[in-house]
A and B are shown apart, each in its own frame.
Chain A
Amino acid sequence: MALMPKRVKHRKQGRGRIRTKANRGNTVAFGDYGLQALEPGWITARQIEAGRVSANQVARTGGGRVWIRIFPHKPVTSTPLETRMGKGKGDIDFWCAVIKEGTVLYEVGGVPEDLAKKALARTAHKMPMRCRMIKRRHKV
């Protein structure tokens, strides 16, 4: 089942604007390798799920684990086709995660680098923006 919040403060939201780069959630925190977004955008709950499945198919064969670092908090509404304008805001069409440039989307751990690269490359193909693989950086 696609991801979605259990409770929300407001049923519907405006579109918003993505103005800055990610100042948090931009490092590998759980696994050994991560997939980082290089462009801002929205990732729908279905795309997140597709990415999870494709990463798991590779990572699990090597005994590894996948972490999802994003969650679709934003409801996006749409007005049905052939409907006259007006009559209020449309119904919720899908849920998405707002992604800033630099956000780490997925992480993989417990697998060798070549397998992690394969898993994250498959996931990157499902994403609606340019991504790159990054390694965990040790603390100084």
Chain B
Amino acid sequence: MTPTTTREPSRQPAIEALLADGTPTREQVDAFIAEHTFPLVEGAQVTFMYRGEASAVSLQHWIYGLESSKQFTRIKGTDVWYIVFTMRRESRVEYKFLVEHGDRRELVRDPFNDQLAHDPFGANSVCHTDRYAVPDWSLPDPEARPGVIEERIVASEAFGETRRFQVYLPARYRTTRRYPLLVAHDGSDYLRFSSLKTVLDNLIHRLEIPPMIVALSDPSDRLVEYAHDERHDRHIATEIVPAMTSLYSIVDAPGARGLVGASFGAVAALSTATRYPGVFGRLFLQSGSFAFTDIGTSKRGPLFEPVVDFVNAFRDDPVKPAERVAMCCGIYESLIYENRSMVPVLQSTGAEVRFFEARDSHNWENWRDRMREGLSWLFPGPLWMIYE
């Protein structure tokens, strides 16, 4: 039998109908804009629109493998620019417009689109195709009892200074009970850009993860400390963890102790887990910057050199970092190859590895959207047993 695949009929973008009879009038263009919202998602076709005087307009996105600047076309006789872009279903893309006025260029957010994603560098416009929706478990749920965030200070011998960190305590925290501990790298960014507190409140409320305590650590010099820096690993394993264990009621077992990090934070998490084997039983690596080389030198620049050395050494002689490792990466990231390559390496250590991908890029909302799948696998909640 010949296998058959179902394919949806390709639809003509609405803008092509507008342009079908040559140059539309200004009134027709105004009506078209008024009738639609932008970006206009029609199946796999997405139409972006910009209105304003400019010498050129282009779409700036962070999709690896696609030319990073896509030129808009001006509708003749108007100040309206458009581009039709093909995106796979379930895709989510962050973008900006590059508007040029002769030699002057400015990056602007899409004026027609009020959906934004924030990160430490500001905010981008967000476009997604059908079948993607912001997960309901990442939005505030009035039924979910809220946890609290506390500030803590620890004297760090590793860094020769005191370090501040935050702690998430679940709702109804009781000293008579013991809780799993998760240490999050870039904790403040997870809170601000990945809604981590809301996510934890909701997943705990839904019984999909157990009530847990999260230490939210922040670096001082991120790209140095997170690049397989012995001081960082020592700080987490021998300073943060013992401090947490003395301050809070925590299960003192590797299976109830985990690390999570994204990008360089994932490198730091893996580095800490491998330098202190047996301490952390759970590892969640999100879009890890696992740069390596098989032949020649890495082209990612000097900041990556210690990372390349670490990952090369790990690939040569992998050490089991944890009993369970959850990994995720966006398909549109430049790091997708490196992350996919790490899966068999981690599996070869005997670790149970789960890897999941999404049609998204290297950003905090992608990492937010993967939280449920990763955390509920690493720390399964009492979903089947509790009926309150």
Say whether A and B bind each other: no
Which residues of A approach B to under 8 Å, CB–CB? none
